[in-house]
Structure 1
Amino acid sequence: MTEPLHYDVTGSGPVLLLMPGGAGHPMGLGPMTDRLAERFTVVTYDPLGLAHGRLGRPVPDQRVTDWSEGAHRVLQEVLPAGDSGYVFGTSSGGIAALDLRARHPERLRHVVAHEPPCVTLLPDGAQQRADLIRQLTGGRLPSAEEESTSPMAVFLARVLGPFTTYTPPFSAPAGLTVAAGADSRGQVLHRTAESVARHTGSPFTEFPGGHLGTLEHPVACADRLAETLLPH
């Protein structure tokens, strides 16, 4: 049986699908969403339904393809027949956005992937992945009890490991911009975003702030995103 979809819609204009980072919980994205809703119909996808009453239910290890196929189903529900939409994904959501673009380019106008942690693309990718997981988890995965109460714990236990093994297709269909935070320069995820751009033959740009720029500088990031998308 097909799992139900969980998403919220606000604003008017061209459809813009937002794919949050972490475990997909849209916590903290309200200010950015409000700003974008002045120009777009903003569809915020919650792949695990954690913001829709499913936090506390058991979550298996996540697959990138499940998130991207779910996002495609969302677009099928919200897009008028024959139309296409914009997509913005950050962090783990950025990885899902890359996979969505590779699988279903026909429904997409343009995709922006912000600091997708595809660290295995780096020359020292295996070591960088191990370091990233160790840094974020402190060397200990969350307990089942912690997972039941915290989206961050779900991310660390069920999303971080499998998602950071993802490698985007080489020279995938056109219509992608890869972004990194200006404050991330010199850090591994900025280098990773540049590598993703080279790997896919896509333009690279910088957004305000760092990895969490969408939360720390929501209006500036929303405006930068609109500037990136609307020419397409």
Structure 2
Amino acid sequence: MTAIHTLRVPGAHLHYEVRGSGPLLLLMGSPMEAAAFASLADALAGDRTVVTHDPRGISGSTLDDPDEDTAVDRRADDVVAILDALGADSADVFGSSGGAVTGLALVARHPDRVRTLVAHEPPVMEILPDVAEHRAMTEDIIETFRREGQGAAWAKFMTGAGFDDESCEEAPAGPHGEPSAQDVANGDRFFGHDLRATAGYVPDVPALTAAPTRVVVGVGATSKGLITYRTSVALAELLGTRPAEFPGDHAGFLEDPDGFAEALRRTLEG
């Protein structure tokens, strides 16, 4: 059974969902919403209380100002607000892609609120030696979105991320096949207001290494060739750790939620 909640936070109403029982585990993405993590959450809910949410401005998490450009730190503070609403001092956190960036900001800003962070393929391009090229690519994607629309922007985004030509032919589909009106609205939000902040986030490595939180960087077993594989390996090196391998690629939790859940359990228990 899934309990659905709405929480008022500065500038927004957050949609979040709670299922299962046991130690608290938060699953998060950006721009991926709660629905994208439903299968993984179901696979983990037998022995954990699993919380998922829609990031501000995405799906059910509505903004007072729809034109707000969302900072990563504000997304992290939203997660703290959810923990407060749950009456939880701390939790384990799994963040994927932009959600991993949110998790890194969460630990840097609120280190006492996270026991273990598993940051799965965070796109932290700022730590790469060719960062200037990636900054220019991000700006080109945003300008393409404004000039030509979401389809062209998705094609450039997927190509820049390292996905093959077939994956780059169209925008990512929703859970039922073709992109829904909400998928399109989320894509508009991503390119128009979220991408620059996520891609430009600089991890606070001294804060991450000083925190009491155990920080694990995750990579997909088949992600080599993706930019997020490079960023993950580089981040793990800066933290003095080795990446933990998970099934599949950047979206392995969608492809094999049960196998991914088992790998995540092992990582959290390790």
Taking structure 1 as the reference length, what is the TM-score of the superposition? Answer: 0.86
RMSD value, Cα: 2.6
Query: What is the distance in 1 between the residues matched to 2:135 and 2:250?
Result: 16
Matched, 1:184 2:240: no
Question: What's the CA shift for 1:198?
Answer: 1.6
Equivalent position of 1:151 in the other structure: 186
Task: State the secondary structure of the residue aligned to 1:167.
Answer: coil
Query: What is the distance in 2 between the residues matched to 1:132 and 1:177?
Result: 26
Matched, 1:140 2:169: no
Query: What is the distance in 2 between the residues matched to 1:162 and 1:197?
Result: 21
In percent, how many aligned pairs have the same letter? Answer: 36
Taking structure 2 as the reference length, what is the TM-score of the superposition? Answer: 0.75
Q: Deviations over 1:110-138 (max 9, x none)?
A: 0001111001111001213433565x669
Q: 5 Å matches for 1:184-223?
A: 184-223=223-262
Q: Which moved more, 1:62-71 or 1:208-217?
A: 208-217
Equivalent position of 1:45 in the other structure: 53
Matched, 1:14 2:15: no
Query: What is the distance in 2 between the residues matched to 1:79 and 1:227?
Result: 26
Query: What is the distance in 2 between the residues matched to 1:138 and 1:209?
Result: 31
Matched, 1:91 2:130: no
Query: What is the distance in 1 between the residues matched to 2:202 and 2:256?
Result: 29
Query: What is the distance in 2 between the residues matched to 1:129 and 1:87?
Result: 28
1:59–1:45 Cα change, 3 Å: farther
1:137–1:210 Cα change, 3 Å: farther
Q: Which has the larger radius of gyration?
A: 2
Question: What's the CA shift for 1:65?
Answer: 0.6
Q: Which moved more, 1:125-134 or 1:149-158?
A: 125-134
Question: What's the CA shift for 1:49?
Answer: 5.6
Query: What is the distance in 1 between the residues matched to 2:184 and 2:138?
Result: 23
The answer for unaligned runs of 5 or more in structure 2 is 1-8, 151-180
1:138–1:147 Cα change, 3 Å: farther
Question: What's the CA shift for 1:195?
Answer: 0.9
**Counterpart amino acid of 1:50?**
I
Equivalent position of 1:65 in the other structure: 73
Question: What's the CA shift for 1:88?
Answer: 0.6
Check whether the contact 1:25–1:49 (CA below 8 A) recurs between aligned residues: no
- Deviating beyond 6 angstroms after TM superposition, the runs of 4 or more aligned structure 1 residues are none
The one of 12, 30, 33 aligned to 1:25: 33
1:73–1:148 Cα change, 3 Å: same
Equivalent position of 1:78 in the other structure: 86
Matched, 1:164 2:199: yes
Q: Deviations over 1:164-219 (max 9, x none)?
A: 11111123224100111111113221010111112233441111111111212222
Query: What is the distance in 1 between the residues matched to 2:254 and 2:107?
Result: 24
The answer for unaligned runs of 5 or more in structure 1 is none
Task: State the secondary structure of the residue aligned to 2:202.
Answer: coil
Equivalent position of 1:117 in the other structure: 123
Question: What's the CA shift for 1:230?
Answer: 2.3
Q: Which moved more, 1:179-188 or 1:85-94?
A: 179-188
Check whether the contact 2:123–2:228 (CA below 8 A) recurs between aligned residues: yes
Q: Deviations over 1:81-127 (max 9, x none)?
A: xx421001111111000010111111211000111100111100121
Question: What's the CA shift for 1:28?
Answer: 2.6
Check whether the contact 1:176–1:203 (CA below 8 A) recurs between aligned residues: no
